[in-house]
Amino acid sequence: MFFAGMIGAQAFTRILRIPTPLLMAAVVVLALVGSYAVRGNPFDLLVTCAAGVIGYFMRLNGFPTAPVVIGMVLGYPLERSLRQGLVLTDLNFFAFFESPLALLLFALTALLLLWPWLSARWRRRGAAP
């Protein structure tokens, strides 16, 4: 990286002059090739296009798209661990809170979710002593 930066800095500045339409067209082609090549299934192209449209409307309305991907990646292990855990505890979800490590993580999650509400409360108390 270091050497590339040293030698290429001049060349890289030229890339900034490529017209945007050409660039965007290239991105579309590469994106479609990429999603098709994963398993050579044309259906994946439809999925890609649908995801693109959904992503566009999400961005338009101020929804972040990164959590969708993370949710999708974590969805399967999340479900599997939940189901395995339930098998271990004979379908008793409350037994999940008996593991100290899990309890700590659940507590952190709760704190994270309640944080906006808590900080607003503290601020109000600080403003009116």
Partner 1 sequence: MEYLAPAFSLLATPATLIAVLIGTVVGIVVGALPGLGTVVALTVCLPFTFSMGQAPSIALLLAVYCSSVYGGSISAILINTPGTPQSAATCLDGYPMAVRGEADLALGWATAASVFGGLFSLVVLVLAAPQLAAVALQFGPIETFALLVFSLTCIAWVSRESVVKGLLAGTIGLFLAAVGPDPMSGDIRFDFGIFQLSAGLQLIPVLVGLFALAEVFVRAAEPAPEGEAVVARVGFRLPPLRAWRPYLKTLLRSSGIGSFIGVLPGTGAAVAAFISYAEAKRSSPRGAAFGTGEPEGVIASEAANNAVTGGALVPTLALGIPGDAATAVMMGTLLLQGITPGVRLFVDNPDLVYAAFLSLL
92 lies in the site for partner 1, by CB under 8 A: no
Least Cα distance to 29 among 41, 19, 39, 21 occurs for 21
- The rounded distance, in Å, linking the Cα atoms of 26 and 75 is 32
- The rounded distance, in Å, linking the Cα atoms of 100 and 109 is 14
2 lies in the site for partner 1, by CB under 8 A: yes
Which 8-state DSSP code applies to residue 96? G
* In the complex, least distance from residue 123 CB atom to partner 1, rounded to whole angstroms: 17
Nearer to partner 1, 17 or 125 (CB): 17
Nearer to partner 1, 19 or 126 (CB): 19
**Number of residues in contact with partner 1 under rule CB under 8 A:** 87
Residues 28-57 that bind partner 1 (CB under 8 A): 28, 30-35, 37-39, 41, 43-45, 47-56
Could you tell me the two tokens for 10?
Answer: 């001049």
* In the complex, least distance from residue 124 CB atom to partner 1, rounded to whole angstroms: 19
Query: What is the b/e burial string over 31-59, where b = at least 16 CB atoms within 10 angstroms of the residue's CB?
Result: eeeebeeeeeeeebeeeeeeeeeeeeeee
- The rounded distance, in Å, linking the Cα atoms of 30 and 23 is 11
Residues 62-81 that bind partner 1 (CB under 8 A): 62-81
118 lies in the site for partner 1, by CB under 8 A: no
